Structure 1
Amino acid sequence: MFSFSRALFLSVIFLFSPHSIGQVLPDYHKIPGLSGNLTSVGSDTFASLVSLWGEAFKTYYPNVNVQVHASGSSTAAPALIEGTAQFGPMSREMRLKEVEAFEREHGYQPTALKVAVDAIGIFVHEDNPVKGLNFTQIDSIFSATMRCGGDKPIQTWAELGVRHKWAKRRIQLFGRNSVSGTYGYFKQTALCGGDFQKYVNEQPGSASVVQSVASSINTIGYSGIGYRMAGVKLVPVAETGNRYVWPDKQSIADGRYPLSRYLYIYINKHPSKLLSPIEAEFIRFIYSKQGQEIVEKDGYIGISPDVAKQELQKVTL
């Protein structure tokens, strides 16, 4: 059940500590005369973060216009391939077929930049007394294939020991649509690569998943934890058994929370050419002290100076 990407995450997660001893991210300093347009097409999950970066960047450069289009991670690769966007935010890694399509068009692979650490939360109605869920139970609720060890579907909260009259009603399921990176990551990780059952109500955005969960007591949904709102509660999660882990910043940063993930921005960087000044400066801003403070304020985990340096090396000659 322990995927390669999950193992890789844990093997290097110490790099993501926002409190690396003796290290600080550099302050951002503007350059003169920068103007132009930046377009971002991709993930809905951290669209607000990209928008906040854009707004802050514009305070340095009033003549820069930043447009953010957030329809889902699957829209990022086509936009980069077609040249309709300079930045492709994704809440998952590009699939092989997406990388191959980009390479056929441009002759080289896209560049992936890790910009923050996030987690998927399991949300239920605020009055639901469930204490926690493991991957076998989550898979048995959401999946038609049950590859995580379940032997039968879970269709009511009563089957999970909830003792209320409403618990005998069928569980209402909410999740993202198939263009979402959250959908793909959740399918691969929490469903062990299995298929969703047909009763999942697919939503076009992360916020709408959580809003839907708040609408009725017998609901459950998955979404980025940053979309928590009144009327719902997060459920602690375990890979196996009942040693549930609450998704706070520490458990996400150290990898104990089992639905932690990287957030990426993909770009079209020719191996032997410099980025345009406006693209290079926006990336430099993201990896600055000011850029990563915005990450933390928006509810995600900022990256360390080591990782910032490592990622910036990908966009320099």
Structure 2
Amino acid sequence: MMASHRESGERTRGSSRRGFLFAAGSVGLAGLSGCITRGEESDLTGEIIVDGSNTVLPHTAAVAEEFQWRNNRVRIPVRGSGTGAGFQQFIAGETALQNASRRITDEERADAEANGIEFLELEAVLDGIAIMAHPDGPVDRLTVDQLHRLWRQDSDVERWSDLDSEWPDREISLYGRDSASGTYDYFTEAINDEPGNIRRDYNETADTNVIVRGVSGNRDALGFGGAGYFYENEDDLKLIEVDDDNGGVIPTDETVARAFEDDPDGPAYTPLSRSMYIYVNVNDLERDVVREFARFFFRREDPDSPAWTQRVAPRVKFYPIPDSLVERESDRLEAKIEEVR
């Protein structure tokens, strides 16, 4: 069973998602400011530039910290420009790794091919997109249809009573990610059947922390964002149950994992559970330091221990991928490395 987000879990070198969001810039600065005076020396040297999803950033930053501790002459700046903005840099050959909270689009794939960028997509971690509300907000559960009516491009819903006549006749204030975000793309496709199909009068932002602050400060606010942001701020927010004809479910280790099972043994958090990815520039796999960092995600300290991508996931409020996926992605990575060496 996966570790609960409510448990401290196995501690490695950092302490929280919030810490990594704050310190991710420090990881980047360390990559630009010379040698780290701590950690273990190895034969590996160099810098690996990582950008992309603001949501995935804490996970990759946590893996990068562990890798840098074991290879203290390696620098890994991890930045969070957003999935879409990050892909623009990645397909231009400006970054070695790309964090992504959605899959690459056909247009982005074509641009990469035109630029001679071959890439490898690797599933690294699981997440649920949370519907967050003020603790004193008037609702505890929304159906998928109500979310669709509320967020779709031509929505005429302005007040709680527009969704249910028994709810308060008060205006709803909406917060969500902007169009550069993979979370935005996934949410709009899952709820409104098309990426980018969303009303234009919500408070959009590139920073999920802005959503947290907006929702926690207004009893009639509602927002969407990675579930980890809720669990880092659960004293100031509440989770809204999402009812996909299943009575209403919130994102937990178990409900998110069940969304990827063919025959789940309980309720699954659908349709807002998702895989998240790292993309590796195949040309950069010719560099020892990039090869070893990519391998490190799926490496185990011993046969019975979790891989690093699994180990750090609960610490930054994500959900570990299953062992079967670790083995599959590790095998795919090794096959690609053999091609380029």
What is the Cα deviation at residue 269 of structure 1? 1.1
8 Å CA contact retained: 2:91, 2:108: no
CA contact (8 A) 1:99 1:109 kept: no
Contact 1:269 1:315 in 2 (8 A): no
Contact preservation (8 Å) 1:287, 1:308: yes
Q: Residue 67 of structure 1 aligns to a residue in which SS? A: coil
Task: Report the 3-state secondary structure (helix = DSSP H, G, I; strand = E; otherwise coil) of the residue aligned with 2:276.
Answer: strand
Q: TM-score, normalised by structure 1?
A: 0.82
Q: What do the CA deviations read for 1:239-262 (whole angstroms, capped 9, x no partner)?
A: 24x611121110000111010000
C-alpha separation between the residues in 1 aligned to 2:54 and 2:198? 20
Aligned to 1:23: none
**Contact between 1:124 and 1:219, CA under 8 Å: does it hold in 2?**
yes
Among 296, 299, 321, the alignment partner of 1:285 is 296
Alignment of 1:87-166 (within 5 A): 87-106=97-116, 109-145=118-154, 153-161=156-164
Matches within 5 A, 1:295-310: 295-310=313-328
Deviations 1:247-280 (A, max 9, x none): 111000011101000010111115xx95421111
The 1:176–1:122 alpha-carbon spacing in structure 2 relative to 1, beyond 3 Å, is same
What displacement does 1:161 show?
A: 4.4
Shift of 1:303: 1.7
Q: C-alpha distance in 2, partners of 1:69/1:61? A: 20
* Residue aligned with 1:115, SS: strand
What's the CA shift for 1:143?
1.4
Q: Secondary structure at the match of 1:68?
A: coil
In 2: Cα distance, 1:135 partner to 1:142 partner: 10
8 Å contact from structure 2 (residues 63, 308) kept in 1: no
Partner of 1:61: 71
In the aligned structure 1, how far is the partner of 2:141 from the partner of 2:175?
18
1:72 maps to 2:82? yes
**CA contact 2:2–2:254 (8 Å) conserved in 1:** no
Aligned partners of 2:212 and 2:128: how far apart in 1? 15
Residue 203 of structure 2 aligns to a residue whose secondary structure is strand
Q: 1:219 to 1:277 in 2, by over 3 A?
A: same
Tell me which amino acid in the other structure corresponds to 2:108. Answer: E
Q: Would you say how many aligned residue pairs link Structure 1 and Structure 2?
A: 279
Rounded to whole Å, the distance in 1 between the matches of 2:107 and 2:65 is 33
Please give the root-mean-square deviation of Cα atoms over the aligned residues, in Å.
2.2
In structure 2, how many angstroms separate the alpha carbons of the residues matched to 1:296 and 1:280?
25
Q: With the length of structure 2 as denominator, give the TM-score of the two structures.
A: 0.76
Deviations 1:92-131 (A, max 9, x none): 001000001001111x642111000101000111101412
* Number of the residue aligned with 2:30: none
- Is 1:252 aligned to 2:256, yes or no? yes
Q: Indicate conservation of the 8 Å contact 2:48/2:290, yes or no.
A: yes
Gaps of 5+ in 1: 1-16, 20-29, 147-152
Contact map agreement 1:123 1:221 (CA 8 A) in 2: yes
Q: Which of residues 220, 238, 249 in structure 2 aligns to 1:233? A: 238
**What is the aligned partner in structure 2 of residue 276 from structure 1?**
287
Determine if contact 2:41/2:72 at 8 Å carries over to the other structure.
no
Cα distance in structure 2, aligned partners of 1:186 and 1:262: 13
Identity %: 26
Amino acid at match of 2:280: I
Q: Which runs of 5+ in 2 are unaligned?
A: 4-39, 260-267, 300-306
